[in-house]
Structure formats: structure tokens, C-alpha cells
Structure 1
Amino acid sequence: MRNLLHGRQRLQEAYRHSLANPPPPGPPTIEQVFLERVRQAVEGALDNENFDVEALARELALSRTQLHRKLKALIGQAPGDFIRLVRLQRAYDLLVSGAVTVAEVAYQVGYSNPNNFSTSFARQFGCAPSEVRRRHVGAK
């Protein structure tokens, strides 16, 4: 039983890792294809502040419950957490580029309130978005 649980945790970690890094060469697994579809759906509606779990489920032609079960089983995250993670990763990339302000980044990744964005960003990355921007713009 312990080996089964450990194996499942390793798989979840591998899928979580594959979201940030390109998959190894070769044919993708069914799980990788599904996760890529989910990621593309979220990225396609990134600037839509009303894009939520319901909209994601409709986009993927799944029920909200089915989507929740699949994502929880594959990566150990709820769909709402996954949407937030994709948005914040994109925000981080935009801040590193230094081309836009923190408020503009917030609106581009679907946050209607820059203060709410800053709080979520700091919780995810451990520092304020302005600090990330300052560090990377100053380094260029």
C-alpha cells in the first residue's frame, strides 16, 4: 500500500514538473495531452477575469466534478489553483521582461484588482511583483 501511494506521489510530481518544463522527446502520454489541453484553454482566456473553473470545464467538455477529479489525480491541484498558477507564471514572465508595469501585468493575466494580484503573487513566489520587476529590469 505504501508503494502504491509513493508511486502515485511520484507521478503527480512528474506531471507538475512537466507543466513548467517541456516533456521528454517521444510520443506524449494521454495524461500529457490532457494537461496540455487544459493549459492551452487557460492561456487562451488569460486576460478574461471571468474565466473560472466552470468556463474551463465547458471549454474541455467535462463536468466540473470530472475536471476536478482528473486534475487532482494527475497533479494534486484543484482546477482553481491550476488556473491561478498558470496566470501567476505568465505574470512572472511578463514582469521579468520589464516591458509593462505591475498593474498592466495584473490586467493582462486576468486580475481586475492589482492589489489582489500582488497578494496572490507574493503568496506564490515569496516576493512582491514590483520586487521581481525591479530585480530583472535593473539587471538588464
Structure 2
Amino acid sequence: MSFVFPARTNTADVELGTMLQPKFGPDGLIPCITTDHVTNEVLMFAFMNAEALAHTIKTKKATYWSRSRNKLWIKGEESGNAQLVKALLVDCDQDVILLKVENVGGAACHNGYKSCFYRKLTDSAVADQPDTMKLEYASKRVFDPATVYKKK
């Protein structure tokens, strides 16, 4: 099935116009940043293809393209941690999508954290010293993935 969005026209229309004209990469994907609609915390980063973007617009449920599984991925279909879309924004040249979502279930990450960005680089890291490149946890788990995801 083919999903068609308005054709990209000229720079002025793309950057200042009012028509959605998404720019998918050569691989057919567009980057998508997802944030909490209340706190603006970045929850995750993923990619969408045209089908995922169309499904997201139609259902108001965040839907992505899983590159590792090579298939459409409706967030929360396994875990129950769905993302209900409150707003869909595009950047100035429409080559990045920003979703503002209600993070149902409280966790966006498959590892059980609210955000996929649950670790941070320690303050003692030094750029030219690889052994100092340590990460520390910046948040606590919301759920145990072993109990949520059942191997099929």
C-alpha cells in the first residue's frame, strides 16, 4: 500500500507555508523526536516511514518504523505503554517530526524507563581519555521488562 503526502514544492512553501510536505530520506525514513506533552521531556527518538506517519495522523497513536525488525511499530502494542499524540510538529524544512504525546503507562523505553535517555555522561569524562567515558543512571525504572515482554 502506498502512502502519499503532498509533494514538496519550493523552499518558501516548505519553510513558511501551511501544507505538510515531509522530506523522507533516501531510505524512505524521517527522524522523529517524541516528548511528553506536559513536561517537554524527551522520551525517545525513532524513525517513521510514510506508512507510520500516516498511521500516526489517522489514529493519534505514535507509530514508528522499526529498523531492527523491519516493520511498522505501534508504540505500546506489546507493553501497553502507548503514546497518544497531542501535537505533531515539523521543523523548518520539514525533515524532522516532533511528537508531543501523553505517555500512557509512564514508560517510553523498552528497558523500563520513562525516557530512553536514562543515562548521562559523568562529569569526570575527559574527551581524549576513553577510560573516563562512564555513564551514570539519571532515572529509575518504571517497570521490569522481563515481566512485560514475553518472548514469542
Q: Same fold (TM over 0.5)?
A: no
Q: Which has the higher helix share?
A: 1
Greater relative contact order (Cα < 8 A, sep 6+) = 1
Q: TM class by shorter-chain length?
A: under 0.3
Q: Which has the higher strand share?
A: 2
